[in-house]
Structure 1
Amino acid sequence: METCQTKLGADHPDTLTSKSNLASTYRNQGRWDEAEKLEVQVMETRKAKLGVDYPDTLISMANLASTYRNQGRWDEAEKLDVQVMETSKTKLGVDHPDTLTSMGNLASTYRNQGRWGEAEKLFIQVIETLKIKLGADHPDTLTSISNLASTYRNQGRWNEAEKLEVQVMETSKTKLGVDHLDTLMSMSNLASTLWKQGRWDEAEKLDVQVMETRKTKLGIDHPDTLTSIANHASTLWKQGRWDEAEKLEVQVMEASKTKLGIDHPDTLTIMHK
């Protein structure tokens, strides 16, 4: 980023891309203020240089909305999400991939606010369009189905959630392989639904499979691996297997402190648990 600024200028497209990439790194570390500062800078520069309805400008707005969403700043996230969605519909069309992504982002904001009906409506619209455009077994379609399942799960609509999650998991296994990261995520989502219903044995079986595969594929201290270890610990804890749960939770906490820092949201979450 610094080299681009010196060689190309602060408002050059390559400089803005590098700033956006750095902001993404900050966002993934939970360094919200630093991410937001860069994202606002990129967004405002692109508005001035390219226009408010240019695709790169819309992407920068969506990135900023994501940072707001991760902090629970729902109103600010929603305002940007709606603006991006409406502009994308006008400029690109209602069934363009970028428009569908923006609809999914807005639906996620609604879901996080507990606005289930609005979230469900958008997710279903996205799913049906993706099925037609990309096919029922395309990764983007499966992701949208997972999002709808999450909306059902958060409402306690277990049967509907489970049905969709099984569908996504089995399709992912067939299309991507049993150890693909998307497949593992679908298995974890299903385990969560089973866990919420108190179906501990079934949840544990999936949790362990996800955990062991992530250890092999990603490493024991990868954030996704740590999440799966924490999920397994929660299942053990619910069964009253305190010693086993504590051992795993301490492992996750110490690894999170080292990898992410003591004040990262994921580290604080596991300390709280």
Structure 2
Amino acid sequence: EWTKTIPKVKGIYTQIEPICKALQINQENCDRAMISISFNRIDPLFMYTQLLKEALLQIEDDDAKSIKELVEYCHLQDDVSKTTLDKIEREYRNHTAIWWYTGPYFIYSMLNCGLRQMDVDIILKMGFFIRHLHQHITELHREQKANIPAKFEVFRGQGLSMEDFEKMKKTKGGLMSFNNFLSTSHNREISLENFARPAAFNTNSVGILFIMNIDTAICTKSSTLFAE
């Protein structure tokens, strides 16, 4: 019971597997909370992100060279294991971009960090991956289009900083933009219990459950596609 009275204590574990699982979930929650959000499209970040996205998607370069440059950049940063970098350089083409993005690697965190901070070095080094991820989502959308309902609902749970929460409250009835590739779920309970509720225990954030009603008639007019 005493663990519930100390916010910094997340639990008591006697085996390594539950600890690893708890750390993985905590990392996912942190990554989700770090995704940059623009409000009412008046945030300059929204404009910069849109322009950058269009530019990156039009660039054509040597993928092998780009992968090598990313690996070399990460080696210099010295915050990614050599084993992981060797795996990416050796096996990148063996898997889809979504596989790498959702896997237990640094890709998701690094991309989020680069887009959140508008770190030009990271964004340019990962430009090839952003294109591949966008292309893969586009391909999946094309394949799944016939089976997608006209309207459906998805959920996303995450933490939101106090500052962003205040901005969001003032945006009621306005527009919001997530400046990243966004992951959602059809399962409300998973989004609530695994992501929104845990974030509420962080004194520096607010747990948020986004409920998104998707109208495919509107989405098809946008260059931003989605897929399962």
Higher relative contact order, chain-length normalized (CA < 8 Å, sep 6+): 2
Range into which the TM-score falls when normalised by the shorter chain: 0.3 to 0.5
**Which of the pair is proportionally richer in helix?**
1
Give the TM-score taking structure 1 as reference length. Answer: 0.29
Greater fraction of residues in strand: 2
TM-score (norm 2): 0.34
